[in-house]
Chains A and B, each alone.
Chain A
Amino acid sequence: MSAAVLEQRPQILARAAQGDLDSFSQLIDPLLDPAYRLAAVMLGDRSAAEDAVQEASIKAWRKLRQLRGDAQSLRAWFLSIVANECRMARRTRWFSVIRVADVPAQAPDDRESHSDLRRALMRLTPDERLPLVLHFYLDLPLDEVARTLRVSPSAAKSRIYRAAKRLRADLTIEEVF
C-alpha cells in the first residue's frame, strides 16, 4: 500500500463508509492478494478462494460502517471476514475437486520434503491453518493475528505454536516467535 494511500486512509475510509465505491476499492485492493492467499490455503482450492474473497469483499463493503477502530484495523477486520467466508464455503460445499493442473511442477529433489510438509499442512483443519498463514505467510504482527482470529494475543500465540508443532514436532516456541 503506498505511503500516500496510508496517509489519506482515514479520509478514504470515511468516504468509503459513506458509500464511495472508488474509495473502498482504494482501501481493499492492496488487501486482495493476502486475502486470496489466506483463502486458498484455508480452502485448498484456488477457484473457491477467489469466490470467497469476492463474497468477503461484498460483505465488507456492506458492513464497513460496523468497522470498529480506525483504518489501521481494516486489514485484520477484512481478513477475519475472509476467514469466516471460507468457513461458510466449506460448510456449504458438499464435494471437493482436486485440481491437478493447479499444482506447479517442482524439482524432483525438493518434491519429497515439500510434499511431506504439504501433506502435513493439508491434514490440519482450515482453522488450524489460519494462524499459520497469518503469522508465517502473511507475516502479520502477533496483535494483528489476534485481532483477525478475534482472540487475545496470548491465545493467538498458543494457536500458532500448536499448529506449527503439528507440522514439526520438535519445534520449540523460540523457533516460532
Chain B
Amino acid sequence: MSNDDFRRELNSTFDQVSGSPSPGLRDRVRSGIAQAPEARGPFWIATVAACVIAVLLVGVLFVANPLRRPSSNVGPGVPTASPSATPSPSPSTSPEPQLPAFVCASSVAGQHPSSEPVAFVSDLRSGTHAGYDRLTIDFSNGGPSGAVELKPQSGTTFTQSPSGMSVTTKGRSGILVVIHGADLHSAYNGSVDIVTGYATLVEVKRVEDFEGVVQLGLGINGTGCYRAFWLSNPDRLVIDVEAGNQ
C-alpha cells in the first residue's frame, strides 16, 4: 500500500466514522450559545458566595485566634479568653466574668502550675482595650518556678538591680512586677524599654534581669489597679492595668 493509498483509505475511514454533521448543528450551537449567558449567573453567584464564605471564615478565625498567637510584638492585641490559671487575690468587682477582678494593692500573682526552674521570657506584648491596657509576658519553656509579685507605687521611679541606679518611666504612677525564676535575656531579644503610646499603660521598662529574677517597671496613668493571671499555650502572664478617669 503506497503512502497516498494509506492517506486515502485513512481519510475514507474517517469519513465512515464521522459522517457529516446534521444540518441543524449550526442552529443548535447558536441556540446553546444564546442561552449561555444565563448559565453564567449561578456560576458567578457561586463564586461570589464562595468569596463571602471565605472572608467570613477568615474573619471568624482571626477573631477567635485559635492558635493564640500574637499579631505583633507591640500594639493592640486580641484579648484571649480561657484563663487557665491562678486568679489574683482580693477580688472586688469583675468587669468580665472569666477574668479576675482588678486589685489596687500589692499582691502575689502566684506560681505558674507547670513551673520551670528558670523560665525564659520570649516576648513582651502590649495592647489597649476598653477599660484597661494589657501587658502580656510570654515564656518559651513554661512558667517560672517562683512567685510573681505586683507592687503598685505612687511614683514612676524604680531602682535598678543590681546596680542600684534609679530609672524613671513615663506616667503618673507605677507598678513594679517582680518575677522570680525567670530571665529576660535567654529567649528575648526585643526592646527592654517599650513606650506603648496608650493612655493607661504608657511604658514598660526593664528594672532587673539578674540571677533568675526579672523586674519590670510599668509606668501608668489611671487608678493604679490591675489584675494578673496566667494563660497557657503559650505560657504567659497577663497583666491588665485598669484605666481610670483621665
Using a CB–CB cutoff of 8 Å, the interface residues on chain A facing chain B are: 21, 24-25, 28-29, 32-33, 36-37, 40-41, 44, 46, 49-50, 53-55, 57-58, 61-62, 102-104, 106, 113-114, 117-118, 121-122, 132-133, 136-137, 167-168, 171, 175-176
Contact = CB atoms under 8 A, between A and B. Distances in A.
Given A114-B13, A137-B14, A61 B33 contact: yes
Contacts of A50: 21-22, 25, 28
Contact of B9 (A37, A44, A58, A114): A114
A40 B18 contact: yes
Given A40-B17, A58-B36, A136 B10 contact: yes
A132 B33 contact: no
Given A21-B34, A113-B9, A136 B29 contact: no
Contacts, number: 91
Given A50-B22, A136-B11, A41 B29 contact: no
Nearest to A119: B13
Given A50-B22, A168-B1, A58 B10 contact: no
A2 to B, nearest CB: 16
B12 interface: yes
A21 B33 contact: yes
A161 B11 CA distance: 16
B6 A103 contact: no
Contacts of B7: 136
Nearest to B10: A136
B185 interface: no
B40 A62 contact: yes
Interface in B71-114: none
Contacts of A137: 10-11, 14
Contacts of A61: 33, 36
- Chain A's interface: helix, strand, loop or mixed, by majority? helix
B7 to A, nearest CB: 6
B10 A167 contact: yes
B29 to A, nearest CB: 5
Nearest to B22: A50
A46 B19 contact: yes
Nearest to A175: B3
A171 B12 CA distance: 18
A104 B18 CA distance: 10
Contacts of A113: 9
Contacts of B41: none
A149 B73 CA distance: 54
A171 B30 CA distance: 42
B6 A37 contact: no
A122 B13 CA distance: 10
Interface string B32-71: 1110100110000000000000000000000000000000
Given A25-B30, A171-B6, A175-B3, A32 B25 contact: yes
A122 B18 CA distance: 12
28 contacts: A25-B33, A28-B29, A32-B25, A33-B21, A36-B21, A40-B19, A41-B18, A46-B19, A49-B21, A50-B21, A50-B25, A53-B21, A53-B29, A57-B29, A57-B33, A58-B32, A58-B36, A61-B33, A61-B36, A103-B16, A121-B13, A122-B17, A132-B10, A168-B6, A171-B6, A175-B3, A175-B6, A176-B3
